[in-house]
Chains A and B, each alone.
Chain A
Amino acid sequence: MNCQDIEKYCLDYCDNNLSPELNELFEQHLQQCNNCKNLIDLTMLENSILLDPIDIPPLKPDFNARLLDRIDSNGQLYPNSALSNNGGLSKYLFNRPFIKRSWALIAAVLLLALVLPSILNQNINNSQHLAQNDIDNNSQPQYNKTKLERTTTEKSNLSLDQEIVQLKSESKTPSSTEDLADSGKQAKITNQEIALDTLAPQELVAGNGSSREANKTKISSRLLVNDEASEPYPENLPPNYQLVANNQSNGQFIYLYRETATNEELNIIITPLKLEDIKPAAMSEAVAETSNTNAIVSYQMANENELSTAADKALLNSSSKDITTENVSYSLTISGNLPQEKIDSIASLITLTEK
């Protein structure tokens, strides 16, 4: 028997499981080999240690009580011990698989409960709004409220200038069916979502001899088109300009025209003037001319300082003037992505008609 055999039969020898013949051969080798004797000594010591009665600490005296606390009189399990030992009710609850699923459900219901009222409210408002529109078309006065936002930007690339005009509006304008009946027109209210992306071709501006890229105009607008009886309406525009949209905001009337061939955009803002806003000179001029024509034009060129940057000036030209009709004075601002001379000529032609 060699050292490998000793290692192989070591445990059996220590447990007295070897046959007498093997046992004798085993002990003969141990007498000659100290290493194997040490191995057997260690294994015997190991056995004695393993078989030592280990000091298992006693369970706490209330072990049974805590265990039985978790079983109710009906034989169902309570989480009582979990409450005291494992970190309380929350931990116990969150650790139960059923409760885990339930929490997800509860969270979903709560979320729905938070979101649903606002959705319902919105639907109710929409339906009320539609119902109100129906009523307004028949007998009720109508109010339109308009908000206009206008932004101009320029890209660093000089070959492409860009203008973004954003129109967001809600309309609120007084009207009545009686007026509509008198004017023989039918009030038509439609909510329109208009998003226009137009890229005007490059055009030369003859006035300064330099080339200017036409602007890209983006109009995103929620417009309430309302043919109101008292609405001032621009007239005498060149025939190739078509009305794309109109809008009312804060008492202003806004009209957007587009030139069909070149996609030039023309924005006309008509603001009714209060009496104190009218310059004395302009008013006297307007009064003087009222006797001659229905619409007397007090022409005023656009203020150069109105556009703050050179880029803005390149992007957008504008012109403004005051017009007085029989009853009201209006301030007109005409702006667009077309040469200043062209805007000026259009501004000089425009008159107003009140519908």
Chain B
Amino acid sequence: MLSDEILAEQILKGDISAFEEIVNRYKKSVFAVVYRMIGQYQEAEDITQEIFLNVYEKIYQFDKSKKLSPWVHRIAVNTSISALRKKKKIISINFDEAFIGSDSYSGLSITNPQIIMERKELKTEVNNAIMELPESYRIVIILRYQMEFSNQEIAEVIETSRENVEVRIHRARKALRRIILSKCQERGIIHELSRY
């Protein structure tokens, strides 16, 4: 299998199939980032298309001595943030209802239906709380916990130091918790959570 960097060179030579291969490799993760940032399917897909067209147009700017993945995701993050700023809807975006509500739990093993319901509700609150975070916090939360990037990879994507990423993640988590607690207190969920 050809490496990303070789494919990038082939794209520069006009090889469209090389570009399609890059699209196939990254479209899922890029769309995941955009969808988490934007929260609406159709718009996220349109933005994903724009991102790959940007990748195609700017591939000559790619430094072949570095990895392609952070470069592609940097374009994805920047394009998503630009789209959010255009919409001026950085906060209060709710996810499409159809795609919320996975009952696959990786952490706690909870079988009580009431608690499952509460967890589902809490998951919705968490997802919505992420959308209420400032974009600089939102992107590190998405990349760290939902895309499972390492702090170093996040640093490469957002072009900052690893230490800065750690601090930003810490602050983002605190901000996220404040939002979630206030939401849960409003709905009385926090009382039920105290049982486990």
Partner-binding segment picked from B1-9, B65-73, B96-104, B152-160: B96-104
Count of inter-chain pairs, beta carbons less than 8 A: 115
Q: Is A60 an interface residue (CB 8 A)?
A: yes
Interface residues of B in 79-118 (CB under 8 A from A): 96, 98-102, 104-108
Contact yes or no, A55 B45, CB < 8 A: no
Q: Is B64 an interface residue (CB 8 A)?
A: no
Contact yes or no, B45 A64, CB < 8 A: no
> Total interface residues on A, using CB and 8 Å?
34
A86 to chain B, nearest CB (A): 7
- From known contacts A56-B35, A70-B53, infer whether A50 and B146 are also in contact, taking CB-CB under 8 Å: yes
Contact yes or no, B106 A67, CB < 8 A: no
Interface residues of A in 50-66 (CB under 8 A from B): 50-57, 59-60, 63-64, 66
User: Chain A contacts of B104 at CB under 8 A?
Assistant: 52-53
* Chain B at the A interface: SS class: helix
B41, closest chain A residue (CB): A57
Partner-binding segment picked from A40-48, A205-213, A303-311: A40-48
B130, closest chain A residue (CB): A50
User: Chain A contacts of B46 at CB under 8 A?
Assistant: 85-86
B102, closest chain A residue (CB): A55
Contact yes or no, B193 A38, CB < 8 A: yes
Q: Is A18 an interface residue (CB 8 A)?
A: no
User: Chain A contacts of B184 at CB under 8 A?
Assistant: 42
Q: Is A81 an interface residue (CB 8 A)?
A: yes
* Per-residue contact bits, chain A 14-57, to B (CB 8 Å; 1 contact, 0 not): 00000000000000000000100010011111111111111111
- Residue of A54, A67, A81 with most chain B CB atoms under a 10 A cut-off: A54
Q: Is B141 an interface residue (CB 8 A)?
A: yes
Contact of A64 among B23, B31, B42, B194 (CB under 8 A): B23
Contact yes or no, A63 B20, CB < 8 A: no
Q: Is A71 an interface residue (CB 8 A)?
A: yes
Q: Tell me the bound Cα distance from A57 to B194 in angstroms.
A: 33
User: Chain A contacts of B96 at CB under 8 A?
Assistant: 57
- From known contacts A57-B98, A64-B20, A64-B24, infer whether A51 and B49 are also in contact, taking CB-CB under 8 Å: no
- Which 9 residue pairs of A and B lie closest in terms of their CB atoms, listed nearest first? A48-B107, A50-B145, A38-B194, A56-B32, A49-B126, A55-B102, A49-B123, A55-B99, A75-B14
8 contacts between A and B (CB under 8 A): A44-B108, A51-B106, A52-B102, A52-B123, A57-B98, A70-B49, A71-B53, A85-B46
Interface residues, chain A, with chain B CB atoms under 8 Å away: 11, 34, 38, 41-57, 59-60, 63-64, 66-68, 70-71, 75, 77, 81, 85-86
